[in-house]
DNA sequence: TTAAATAGACTGACCAGTCCGTCATTATAA
DNA sequence: TTATAATGACGGACTGGTCAGTCTATTTAA
């Protein structure tokens, strides 16, 4: 019975954690770390505050768990999507598209990422960059390959170009989120992609 | 004597306000609205808390005053700088350069702008966009002129292109600020400008 | 019957905003 | 010129409310 017990226990724990994380993500995204009350999260999750503290050490732990989960999901999705494509430029396009779709679905998350950087500078960045780098390294390889193939200007440093792309996407999503998602992300992103690509690509007709 | 008195009083008031605003900008930028204590601002300004409340109605009023002052300065600088140039493309370049230099000098301000949008959404945005639009309208005219002259792709909508540019700049400055300003903004911005322009400009050699 | 899970009352720290006494400067009077 | 009064800038102790985290009584499950 011990094994079954452990499984059940694990199930309950995971279920509760997910339940709390889901609510917490919404609330933290809306109000930011400092203005969020743990009471509200507990209430919306239909739980008592004590229960929340059963599953998370403290408010910070809860917050960082959200960040962790979000980044992990995003990274996995992007890497999987890229793997589906063959050509370097298609891989990059696919990465942009996936990134965009992720936030179209989880739009509130962008706030957590951008919003709280100063409060948690080191910690978030540590977690963020840990995942981010795996992710960037893959994309960097793709960039380099595209450069070898003569598709992307040789003088552009992949790391910086990727940073610029990420920044463009992040802040565009952020603005889009703030202004009430009045237009479709996909629509505007085609323009961003065009600006980004036409600037980056070697001219074809030389 | 009354006139002199009024002048003196006004001087003192302005001086104190500036003194408090300067400190408050630093502290709010570093900690965000919710985590900033008015006590700390007072302390760093070498004043008692009561004195701070003499000059500002409450914490919110103080915060919004910072935002106001910053945006007003930025707008004035950009418009003045643009007025110095004749050619549309030079005007745009100059605007980018000025925007960048402003934040290189007042790097902490970008945090206040980006960071607190969710807490104060409506209020900040109202103030922000009030100034922003005067500013954008001017730039938009320049864009349109450049399109008439055949310098910029006709199919690009100026408003959207300006939004993208602003977003690129903002988030680049933000990241730069967060990561400890390890490189010169001007340096990276030349790359951004290149990406932005080469993507935007009609090809010259057709 | 017992052990784990849960709720929410409670505590102590924290902090925005107030209130009042002090002090410096300027005006008034002798 | 000097003594006294009035003004108002100022500091910081204080208050009341809020909220993270704890503790215990109660519920649930086995």
Pair A108, A140 in one domain: yes
Domain presence at residue A15:
yes
Q: What integer pLDDT is reported at residue A127 of this predicted model?
A: 66
**Domain-located, residue A205:** no
Which of the two residues, A128 and A189, has the higher pLDDT score? Answer: A189
pLDDT of the residue at B32: 78
Identify whether A183 is part of a domain. yes
Q: Are residues B17 and B101 in the same domain?
A: no
> Residue B50 domain-assigned?
yes
Compute the nearest-CA separation of B29 from chain A (Å).
Answer: 9
Using the Cα atoms of residue B147, residue B153, residue B155 and residue B161 in order, give the sign of their dihedral: negative
Q: Which nucleotides of D are covered by protein (CB under 7 A)?
A: 9-13, 18-24, 30
Q: Nearest nucleotide, C1' to the C-alpha of B50? A: D11
Q: Distance, angstroms, CA A111 to C1' C11?
A: 33
pLDDT at B2: 40
Confidence of residue A20 (pLDDT cuts 50, 70, 90): very high
Size of interface A-B (CB pairs under 8 A): 93
Say if residue B86 is in the same domain as residue B154: yes
Exposure b/e, A84-122, CB count within 10 A at least 16 = b: eeeebbebbebbbbbbbebbbeebbbbbbbbbbbbbbee
B29-84 per-position pLDDT tens digit: 888 788 889 999 999 988 888 899 989 999 988 988 888 888 888 889 989 999 99
Residue B107 lies in a domain: yes
**Looking at the structure, do residues B41 and B71 belong to the same domain, yes or no?**
no
Average pLDDT of the residues in B82-106: 88
Statement to judge: residues A37 and A105 lie in one domain: no
Band of pLDDT at residue B203, cut at 50, 70 and 90: very low
Q: Which residue has the higher pLDDT, B180 or B76?
A: B76
A51 and A75 part of one domain: no
Q: Which of A30, A156, A168 sits opposite B167 (nearest CB)?
A: A168
Q: Residues with Cβ < 8 Å from B85, sequence gap 6 or more?
A: B91, B93, B94
Q: What is the pLDDT of residues A129-168, one digit of tens each?
A: 667 777 788 889 998 998 888 888 887 888 878 877 887 7
Q: Are residues A101 and A49 in the same domain?
A: no
User: Could you tell me the CATH number of the domain that includes residue A180?
Assistant: 1.10.357.10
Do B2 and B50 belong to one domain?
yes
Q: What is the pLDDT of residue A19?
A: 92
Residue position matching structure tokens 């179209």: A104
Instruction: List chain A residues with CB under 8 Å of B168.
Output: 164, 167-168, 171
In chain B, the number of structural domains is 2
CATH at residue B12:
1.10.10.60
pLDDT at A122: 60
- The pLDDT tens digits of the residues spanning A95-118 come to 888 988 888 888 777 777 766 655
Domain, as residue range, for B41: 1-56
Per the domain annotation, does B62 fall within a domain? no
Through-space separation of residue B60 CA and nucleotide D12 C1' in angstroms? 22
Nearest to A77 by CA among A64, A94, A93: A94
Q: Are residues A136 and A51 in the same domain?
A: no
What percent of chain B is modeled with pLDDT above 70?
Answer: 79
Assess if residue B206 is contained within a domain.
no
Nearest nucleotide to B37 (CA to C1') is C15
In angstroms, rounded to a whole number, what is the distance separating the alpha carbons of residues A34 and B34?
6
Token duo for residue A100: 């965009």
Highest mean pLDDT of the ranges A9-18, A36-45, B123-132: A36-45
Task: State the nearest residue by CA to the C1' of D10.
Answer: B51
**Is A5 in the same domain as A73?**
no
**Domain-located, residue B101:** yes
Å from the B6 CA to the D1 C1': 28
Residues A125 and A188 in one domain: yes
- Provide the pLDDT for residue B124: 61
My answer on whether A42 and A120 are in the same domain is no
């Amino acid at each position: 019975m011990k094994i079954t017990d452990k499984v059940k226990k694990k199930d309950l724990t995971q279920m509760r954690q997910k339940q709390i994380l889901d609510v917490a993500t919404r609330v933290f995204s809306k109000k930011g770390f400092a203005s969020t009350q743990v009471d509200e999260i507990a209430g919306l999750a239909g739980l008592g505050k004590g229960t929340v503290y059963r599953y998370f050490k403290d408010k910070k732990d809860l917050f960082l768990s959200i960040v962790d989960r979000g980044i992990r999901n995003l990274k996995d999705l992007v890497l999987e999507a890229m793997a589906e494509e063959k050509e370097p430029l298609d891989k990059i396009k696919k990465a942009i598209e996936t990134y965009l779709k992720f936030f179209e679905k989880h739009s509130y998350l962008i706030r957590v990422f951008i919003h709280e950087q100063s409060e948690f500078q080191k910690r978030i960045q540590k977690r963020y960059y840990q995942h981010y780098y795996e992710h960037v390294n893959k994309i960097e390889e793709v960039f380099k390959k595209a450069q070898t193939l003569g598709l992307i200007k040789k003088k552009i440093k992949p790391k910086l170009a990727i940073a610029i792309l990420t920044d463009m996407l992040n802040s565009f999503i952020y603005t889009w989120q703030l202004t009430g998602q009045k237009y479709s992300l996909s629509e505007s992103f085609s323009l961003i992609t065009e600006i980004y690509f036409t600037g980056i690509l070697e001219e074809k007709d030389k």
